[in-house]
Amino acid sequence: MSNMTASLTANHVSLKLPAFVQRERAVGNWWTMLARAAFEPPRREFRTILDDIHFSARAGDRIGIVGRNGAGKSTLLRILAGAYQPTSGWIDLLGSRQALLNISLGFNGEATLKENIYLRGTAMGIRASDLYELVEPVLEFAELREKANDRLKTLSAGQRMRLGFAIATAVQHDIKVMDEWIGAGDASFIQKAKERMSNRVDGAKVVILASHNFQLMKDVCSKGILLERGRILHMGEIHDTLKEYEGVLRHAESTAP
């Protein structure tokens, strides 16, 4: 854990991505429809996924990102995680960063839990000498100690999520970028995970979290960003942002056919 101050800034970040679309045409019969699906090459179109995203997170900020499906939340997280590079604009980063976007992926199903902890640990850049100390606390937190030498394949989705969460939060980083990690855990684990999140606020200086879970957002986050069609619609205190978001949802419901 470093005592340096951490910050994460997005400077007018935009992202355009090519999308491959099939032409829409009136279909004569089954045969032509099948033949077209097989032989017609998709057309390439550029779509603006994120448009002029500009915000700054300082030490102590826990920012919740909300928005409807397809608003660009996950894409923004991947840019903040350093995976995607913006088409224009840039990210300023101070401090160490860890993303937890796919916490139940990236495992080797045939390997044991212990081996997978090493695997994910090395992927996160932990050096060999520190890996051994990682295993016990992770198994402890995930409540999977008795399965340490079982194959990972034998875990349920919820257990896998618990293991992924435990590994990803075992090491303290200055900046954490997280997506909907709360999917499959049971109630008691979710409580535990929330506690870990809150307890670690002092350590993780900046937290960026995307979720549809209002309660989680209220518990964990201090500020909020509402995305709609790739733009920031609202930015402010988390309670205000959630209220705005409720408005967007109500509006979408009332205009839906």
Partner 1 sequence: MIFRQLFSSLREPEFWAYSSWLDIVTKYRRSRLGLLWLLIPPIIYIFGVGYYFAKLQGVSPLGFIPHMGVGYLLFRFLMTTIMESASILPGNASFILDGHVRLTDFVMRVLAKGLFYLIVSLPILVVVLVLAPQLEPLGLLTMVPAMILLVTNALWMGIIVSLLGARFPDINELMSSLFIFGFILTPILWTAAAAPVGTAHGMFMRANPFFHMIEIVRAPLLGEPIEPFTYAFMAVLTVAGWALTAFVYKRYARFVPLWV
Residues that bind partner 1 (CB under 8 A): 17, 78, 81-85, 97, 99-102, 105-106, 108, 110-111, 115, 118-119, 122-123, 125-128, 131, 177
Strand segments (E) across 126-205: 175-179
Shortest reach from residue 168's CB to partner 1, in Å: 9
Shortest reach from residue 57's CB to partner 1, in Å: 16
Closer by beta carbon to partner 1, 55 or else 107: 107
Q: Which residues contact 233 (CB under 8 A, 6 or more apart)?
A: 67, 226, 227, 244, 248
Reduced 3-state DSSP string for 10-54: EEEEEEEEEEEECCCCCCCCHHHHHHHHHHCCCEEEEEEEEEEEE
Shortest reach from residue 126's CB to partner 1, in Å: 8
CA distance 163 to 143: 8
Give the 3-state secondary structure of residue 96. coil
CA distance 235 to 237: 7
Closer by beta carbon to partner 1, 177 or else 242: 177
In the block, which residue shows the tokens 């212990």? 114
Shortest reach from residue 125's CB to partner 1, in Å: 7
Shortest reach from residue 150's CB to partner 1, in Å: 13
Closer by beta carbon to partner 1, 152 or else 220: 152
52: left (phi over 0), alpha (psi -120 to 50) or beta: left
Closer by beta carbon to partner 1, 84 or else 214: 84
Closer by beta carbon to partner 1, 20 or else 30: 20
Shortest reach from residue 247's CB to partner 1, in Å: 31
Token pair in block for residue 35: 């033949």
Closer by beta carbon to partner 1, 5 or else 122: 122
Rounded (5°) CA angle 199-82-115: 65
CB atoms within 10 A of CB 248: 18
